[in-house]
Amino acid sequence: MTIKPGRVGELVCYPVKSMAGTSMESAFLDWHGLLGDRRFAFRRLNTNSGSPWLTASRLPQLILYRPCGLKQSFDEPQPTHVLTPSGDCFELLSEELNREVSDRFGRRVEMMHLRNGIFDDSTVSVINSATVAHVCRAGGVDIDRRRFRANIVLDGGEGAFAEDNWVGSTLVFGEEESGPAVYVTKQNGRCIIINLDPETGEQTPRVMKAVAQLNDNNAGVYGTVVRTGQIQIHDPVTLVQSARLPQTAHSLPFG
């Protein structure tokens, strides 16, 4: 059985973990998520934690840093610089940026390049725009998709939290049955980052409280790539129920 849960309304890549994202007209869906997504992260030095990465849950202002510039490497696009909240611009892998974030955090950190990315869970996150609107209204804040930090936002489909019914099915993107595809693995259990205003970094705890009350703390879904390929804004999306497609690779859009 197939369902049409909407069209691609937004594609967002987050080159640096917990920093601001970059909206795109098209993106290549690779085995490790959208090409270039979360390939960089700050590592907290002098810690024995099994998860040493600095995120906005520890430093909320991190979401106000904006990766910028673009270089086309041999296999994926990468930012060249980062614009800080104070307006300074530093090279992505520079000691100046390390010092800037270390000073703000109060402990030493170092930018790392992770070839396959660093993810909290699965490599792709998807949310329905109706879910975004419902949660934001309930939380008493402006409707802003950026709070949810999803890679793919679907428009024009089902109601709020319809994503919960996608678990165990496959999302196929584009007009062709052989288009890029994501197998939906689980609901997206939310953390305090959705409380953060993407423009100011200020916290509004009502947002996470709303998610907890409305849908047991879940908003959106996680998935794993089962077929690679190019995704475009406005692409139709087909939900193939109870099916995990065989893994298939399509070539990259550049050499």
Q: Does pTM surpass 0.75?
A: yes
pLDDT of residue 3: 87
Q: How confident is the model at residue 69 (pLDDT cuts 50, 70, 90)?
A: confident
pLDDT reading at 1 higher than 90? no
pLDDT reading at 75 higher than 70? no
Looking at the structure, tell me whether residues 164 and 72 fall in a common domain: no
**Cα 46 → chain centroid:** 28
For the record, the structure tokens of 194 come out as: 């959705």
Write the CATH number for 205: 2.40.33.20
Looking at the structure, tell me whether residues 57 and 147 fall in a common domain: no
pLDDT reading at 73 higher than 60? no
Looking at the structure, tell me whether residues 71 and 195 fall in a common domain: no
Tens digits of residue pLDDT in 156-187: 878 999 999 999 999 999 999 999 999 999 99
Tens digits of residue pLDDT in 34-67: 999 999 999 999 887 778 999 999 999 999 999 9
Please give the residue range of the domain that contains residue 20: 2-35+119-240
pLDDT reading at 121 higher than 80? no
Q: 245 in a domain, yes or no?
A: no
Looking at the structure, tell me whether residues 137 and 105 fall in a common domain: no
For the record, the structure tokens of 97 come out as: 């940026």
Looking at the structure, tell me whether residues 149 and 219 fall in a common domain: yes
pLDDT reading at 11 higher than 70? yes
pLDDT reading at 241 higher than 60? yes
What integer is the mean pLDDT of 148-156? 97
Looking at the structure, tell me whether residues 45 and 64 fall in a common domain: yes
pLDDT reading at 188 higher than 60? yes
Looking at the structure, tell me whether residues 74 and 178 fall in a common domain: no
From 87, 113, 139, the end of a domain falls on: 113
pLDDT of residue 118: 81
How far is the C-alpha of 77 from the C-alpha of 32, rounded, in Å? Answer: 14
Report the DSSP pairing between strands 152-155 and 124-128. parallel
